Amino acid sequence: LVSGELKTWNGATSEVYSTISSTEDYKPTLLGTVPDLGENEAMEALSSALSAYDKGQGLWPTMKVEARIKCMEKFVEQMKTKREEVVKLLMWEIGKNLPDSEKEFDRTVDYIYDTIEDYKQLDRDSAKFEKNDGVYAHIRRGPLGVVLCLGPYNYPLNETFTLLIPALIMGNTVVFKPAKHGVLLISPLLEAFQSSFPKGVVNVIYGRGRVLATPIMQSGKIDVLALIGNSKSANALQSQHPKGNRLRMVLGLEAKNPAIVLPDADLDLAVSECLAGTLSFNGQRCTALKVLYVHESIADEFNKRFSAKVDALKFGNPWEEGVKLTPLPEVDKPKYIQELIDDALSKGASILNKKGGETTNNFIFPAVLYPISKDMKVYKEEQFGPVVPVMSFKNIEEPLDDMAESNYGQQVSLFGKNVNTLAPLIDTLVNLVCRVNLNSSCQRGPDVYPFTGRKDSAFGTLSVHDALRSFSIRTFVASKDN
Ligand code: G3H
């Protein structure tokens, strides 16, 4: 969908493989091919988005609110008819299990409807006048221009759309490059994009990020970089923009969210929440718990119960009943996880669970590593995969100091009961991260809540409500009469 038209591509293509295999002999399965576009097509998509925006005078940025909402409603209605196809591709392309794939689709649809409702409210608010010093102001929100949108492989639909949808509804035009894994599942939606929005408003390009995004950034012609991914890519892209330090960006980046389990915590609850927090979708979530701090008085009991629960998790194909652990979409990930395990073992940690480190197809069974020290790679790096580092602590200052020194600051999970202990702790934690989860694991949802982070974890905020503001600017008409 370049230049707002669905084109047949006769040039180079790339093959998309799945690491899921229903056969005994593991062999990646060929799922399909996608165009491998080059610089020319990237620039064609950019000029299409630029001319649809037409310096703010195009049909889309000047369209009436009601008409823009109609386009978005048409899109979401058509999108809903593709549920089965997209869910199947989520399972095959990224190995997400069936309930989580269905949830990803459904929450994305909800996000679009919530965005429409919030946009209507924003419009109602803009009808109100403000008066100061004899001047009436009619405040509105206007688009920013052309947005380059890049999404991640772990939520190729939901995360990408939480950038794309608010950017579009606010009147911006978009060049969108899907992630490497989870690229095919965008194809069923191309016709819906084409038939719902005016020509050139949505431009989808397939290919390698470096080849496509670099010339777009270097052109200096985009107004917003919207990316969910890692800070290294975000920094590289920003530096390619001629006015990098003045480029508007909306970024969701990496995190190393900790759990802190206090001596009076409900241990069963802490264990089950930490299990979901560390290992849902094999730990491939920016919101995953990536290090567990357990008070030394309860560490042995916590470790025993937690390790047993990890070993009880079912591994298999994503569509099988009760499966929690699945093959990883990145072929080099098991090797990386093994490196983290080997490094931790060589520095004094042990694997607490029996199955930890076993490999099957493109999968490595999660290892619970204990005790972790700060010189280990698994402590220093965002593992983004199935390995769980556990540390014990004596004084609460230990995890707090680590969090203060960390490059990240997205969320924390805090487990405990005594309100007199929890209250002052929460007051400190909210200055280190942006969301404190009390007796529950870290997560993004419900998507109406602010999704952001401190330091290298984010730039801008992506709740439904905040995202509309992130992709727009406040403008107003001033007058002496109301
Ligand atoms: O990778 C980051 C996602 O936004 C996580 O969302 O907490 O709902 O899994 P989630």
Q: What is the ipTM of this complex?
A: 0.94
Report the pLDDT value the prediction gives residue 6, as an integer from 0 to 100. Answer: 81
Q: How confident is the model at residue 36 (pLDDT cuts 50, 70, 90)?
A: very high
pLDDT, tens digit, 9 for 90 and up, residues 124-158: 888 777 889 999 888 889 999 999 999 999 999 99
257, 286, 410: residue to mutate for ligand 1 pocket, most atoms within 8 A of CB? 286
CB 306 within 8 A of CB 275: yes
pLDDT, tens digit, 9 for 90 and up, residues 375-434: 999 999 999 999 999 999 999 999 999 999 999 999 999 999 999 999 999 999 999 999
Report the pLDDT value the prediction gives residue 26, as an integer from 0 to 100. Answer: 62
Locate 89 and state its tokens. 């591709």
Q: Is the CB of 326 under 6 A from ligand 1?
A: no
55: left (phi over 0), alpha (psi -120 to 50) or beta: left
153, 155, 411: residue to mutate for ligand 1 pocket, most atoms within 8 A of CB? 155
- Pick the atom of ligand 1 nearest to 443's CA: 7
Q: Is residue 24 scored above 70 in pLDDT?
A: no
d(CA 167, CA 79): 18
Residue nearest to atom 6 of ligand 1 (CA): 444
Classify residue 10 by burial, with Cβ atoms within 10 Å: 0-12, 13-18, 19+. Answer: exposed
Q: Is the CB of 286 under 6 A from ligand 1?
A: yes
User: How many angstroms does the Cα of residue 419 sit away from the middle of ligand 1?
Assistant: 28
Longest dimension (CA), the chain: 78
Picking from 237, 40, 36, the residue whose alpha carbon sits closest to that of residue 149 is 237
Report the pLDDT value the prediction gives residue 161, as an integer from 0 to 100. Answer: 97
Mean pLDDT of 251-266: 98
Token look-up 């790339």 returns 14
Report the pLDDT value the prediction gives residue 4, as an integer from 0 to 100. Answer: 67
Whole-number percent of the chain with pLDDT over 70: 98
Residue nearest to atom 4 of ligand 1 (CA): 444
User: How many angstroms does the Cα of residue 145 sit away from the middle of ligand 1?
Assistant: 28
Report the pLDDT value the prediction gives residue 373, as an integer from 0 to 100. Answer: 97
d(CA 271, CA 269): 5
Mean pLDDT of 177-190: 95
Q: Is the CB of 307 under 6 A from ligand 1?
A: no
Residue nearest to atom 7 of ligand 1 (CA): 443
d(CA 223, CA 220): 8
User: How many angstroms does the Cα of residue 365 sit away from the middle of ligand 1?
Assistant: 21
User: How many angstroms does the Cα of residue 280 sit away from the middle of ligand 1?
Assistant: 10
Token look-up 């652990």 returns 325
H-type alpha helices, 391-440: 397-405, 419-429
Q: Is residue 34 scored above 90 in pLDDT?
A: yes
pLDDT, tens digit, 9 for 90 and up, residues 283-336: 999 999 999 999 999 999 999 999 999 999 999 999 999 999 999 999 999 999
Residue nearest to atom 2 of ligand 1 (CA): 286
User: How many angstroms does the Cα of residue 174 sit away from the middle of ligand 1?
Assistant: 23
pLDDT, tens digit, 9 for 90 and up, residues 228-245: 999 999 999 999 999 888
User: How many angstroms does the Cα of residue 316 sit away from the middle of ligand 1?
Assistant: 22
Report the pLDDT value the prediction gives residue 360, as an integer from 0 to 100. Answer: 86
Angle, CA 422 vertex, CA 417 and CA 424 arms, to 5°: 165
Report the pLDDT value the prediction gives residue 337, as an integer from 0 to 100. Answer: 98
Q: Is the CB of 159 under 6 A from ligand 1?
A: yes
Q: Is the CB of 154 under 6 A from ligand 1?
A: yes
Report the pLDDT value the prediction gives residue 332, as an integer from 0 to 100. Answer: 93
Report the pLDDT value the prediction gives residue 138, as an integer from 0 to 100. Answer: 87
User: How many angstroms does the Cα of residue 399 sit away from the middle of ligand 1?
Assistant: 23
Mean pLDDT of 341-353: 98
Residue nearest to atom 8 of ligand 1 (CA): 444
Q: Is the CB of 285 under 6 A from ligand 1?
A: yes
105, 230, 443, 452: residue to mutate for ligand 1 pocket, most atoms within 8 A of CB? 443
- Pick the atom of ligand 1 nearest to 444's CA: 7
Q: Which of 25-34, 85-94, 107-116, 454-463 has the lowest mean pLDDT?
A: 25-34
**187 — phi, psi (to 5°)?**
-55, -45
**352 — phi, psi (to 5°)?**
-85, -25
CB 97 within 8 A of CB 318: yes
Q: How confident is the model at residue 47 (pLDDT cuts 50, 70, 90)?
A: very high
- Pick the atom of ligand 1 nearest to 442's CA: 7
CB 108 within 8 A of CB 161: yes
- Reported pTM: 0.96
User: How many angstroms does the Cα of residue 444 sit away from the middle of ligand 1?
Assistant: 5
Q: How confident is the model at residue 356 (pLDDT cuts 50, 70, 90)?
A: very high
> Which strands sit side by side in the sheet containing 173-177, from one edge to the other?
202-204, 173-177, 146-150, 224-228, 248-252, 458-459
Residue 20's Cβ-side half-sphere holds a number of Cα atoms within 13 Å equal to 21
| Averaged confidence pLDDT in the chain | 95
d(CA 458, CA 461): 8
